[in-house]
Copies of this chain bind each other. A is one copy, B any other.
Amino acid sequence: MVVYELTDSEVDAMFGALADATRRDIVDRVLHENASVSRLAERYDMSFAAVQKHVAVLQAAGLVTKSRQGREQIVSGNLVSIHHIQKLLSHFEAVWKQRALQMADVLRDDATTEAPPSPTSSGTRADIPHD
């Protein structure tokens, strides 16, 4: 329901996991369709072990899950965590928009001496995103 049950280090892990093109591609792939680790590995110009590590990073971040199926490990995408991050960024956006409104209202932006909250359009504060 609420987004902010994530600890800092959990969020660190999520963003960190997405900070690599190979891993983003893996997420994209397994969101489209599940794939075994070796199937994934075929696609990239690096060792199997390297891909294995990437998957491990994604798994540790909770972005994908693995499940045994015969002698393969099937990797699948985890929407929930992706949704979490997206909401977090929505929060950033909301903050910015809120501020843009304030600037339009007050019509000055002196950096250090910026106006305190003083919501002219009161109650519009977009603090924390819920679902």
B15 adjacent to A18 (CB under 8 Å): yes
Assembled-state Cα–Cα distance A89/B69 (Å): 29
Number of interface residues, chain A, beta carbon within 8 A = 44
Q: A35-B112, A36-B111 are in contact. List 14 more A-B contacts (CB 8 A).
A: A11-B24, A14-B19, A16-B16, A16-B19, A31-B92, A31-B95, A31-B96, A31-B99, A33-B114, A35-B111, A39-B112, A77-B92, A86-B86, A86-B90
A35-B111, A86-B86, A99-B33 known; A15+B16 contact, CB < 8 A? yes
Assembled-state Cα–Cα distance A69/B109 (Å): 12
Residue A104 is within 8 A (CB to CB) of chain B in the complex: no
Residue A65 is within 8 A (CB to CB) of chain B in the complex: no
Residue A105 is within 8 A (CB to CB) of chain B in the complex: no
A93 adjacent to B82 (CB under 8 Å): yes
Assembled-state Cα–Cα distance A114/B27 (Å): 17
Note all chain B residues with C-beta closer than 8 A to A35: 111-112
Within A1-31, the residues touching B (CB, 8 Å) are 8-9, 11-16, 18-21, 24, 27-28, 31
Give the Cβ gap from A33 to chain B, nearest Cβ, in Å: 4
Residue A83 is within 8 A (CB to CB) of chain B in the complex: yes
